[in-house]
Amino acid sequence: MKLVIALISGVLFGVGLTIAQMVNPAKVLNFLDIAGHWDPSLALVMASALTIFGSGYFLLVQTKDKPLLDKEFIVSKNKKIDNSLVVGATVFGLGWGLIGICPGPALAILLTGNMKFVGFFIAMLIGMQVAQKISKTNRSKSNMRIQ
């Protein structure tokens, strides 16, 4: 049942990204170009998404003991802004700003069969693997210092 709901959620997310044109790099880049041909329409998409997420979070996560299909809510308790967060956010922002695509829309675009984004998707997967290896190395180094 959880897999079916995850599939439906993913499809709904992909359809939403497509309808909102978040899979259109030109639309995203125009939104980011506040000094040029700025297109504010994606701000409405983001505001709508934040409103829906915020409502769901406060109505469900804050008022329920556990989710419908799991033992507990998975909510990060980490409030710390560290180097990995800053570097990750910077790399994400640079990639989004230069290309106009981020991971969610990249997957949705890939599923459309548009082959010019296959290279981006492969580079994204390689980047994720490199980041994971760096993170593991940093964690093992910090564990060595603690002992």
Q: Where are the domains of the chain?
A: 2-146
Whether pTM exceeds 0.85: no
Residue pLDDT, tens place only, 65-98: 888 888 888 877 888 888 888 888 898 888 888 8
In this predicted structure, what is the pLDDT of residue 55?
A: 92
Q: Is the pLDDT of residue 4 over 80?
A: yes
- Identify the residue whose tokens are 């593991």: 136
Residue pLDDT, tens place only, 26-45: 898 999 888 988 999 989 98
> What is the overall mean pLDDT for the chain?
84
**Model confidence at 113, in pLDDT bands (50, 70, 90)?**
confident
In this predicted structure, what is the pLDDT of residue 62?
A: 80
Q: Is 138 helix (H, G, I), strand (E, B) or coil?
A: helix
Q: Which amino acid is located at 11 in the chain?
A: V
DSSP E strands in the chain: the ranges are none
Q: What is the mean pLDDT of residues 129-133?
A: 88
Name the residue among 100, 78, 88 with its Cα closest to residue 132: 88
Round to whole Å and give the CA distance between 77 and 99.
32
In this predicted structure, what is the pLDDT of residue 94?
A: 86
